[in-house]
Amino acid sequence: MAIDMDALRREELKILEETYRGAVPQLEFGSPFELLVAVILSAQCTDKRVNLVTQELFPLANTPEQILQLGQSRLEEIIRPCGYFRAKAKHIVESAQILIDDYGGSVPSDFDELIKLPGVGRKTANVVTSVAFKNPAIAVDTHVFRLANRLKLAEGKTPLEVERGLQRIIPREKWSDAHHWLIWHGREICAARKPKCEACPLSKICPSSQM
């Protein structure tokens, strides 16, 4: 008997919503610029470590103007624990200058403008436009990419393929929330190497369940 994949996906999303309703980002921030910096730092780094670093950074510099005053060398020293600190510092400083020159020191809410900033890819732009400006978006990080494929919600070989697939099956008004459901499920249950299938609320219907 053939599996009704549309029905399966609807049930998976229903369970994820019930399990993670109200989930919020783990990154700590107080402004769109702080979020932008935090997301840039989060590449290849855990949110917990980023939060420790920004607890030191933001009291010293949490605006584009203050970042430029701080300088790239000092910024590199502070963000070193996040990894790739030279490239990240360069991107943050360059973005700060562009924000001052072209946007009056404010972070733009438009995806196409955000993605022009150095070090800002689709994931970062989607996170910022979704979390800071409440615009519907699905940011595909490693957790979202892994779960979308494992659950067969949206199979794809690239983050963009997965993003487009998720947009097709999830109502637009739930895009941003669904992004958080998937991230938290990936962190708490569906790990990359040893998923906790025995504790998973989706185990009975998951196409990849190891139970």
Question: What is the set of active-site residues?
Answer: 123, 141
Distance CA 167, CA 155 (A): 12
Contacts 24+ apart (CB under 8 A), 92-101: 92/37, 92/40, 92/67, 92/119, 93/67, 93/68, 94/118, 94/119, 95/36, 95/40, 95/64, 95/119, 95/120, 96/64, 96/65, 96/67, 96/68, 97/64, 97/68, 99/33, 99/64, 100/64, 100/65, 100/68
154 within 8 A of 162, measured Cβ to Cβ: yes
Cβ atoms of 153 and 147 within 8 Å: the answer is: yes
CB 163 within 8 A of CB 176: no
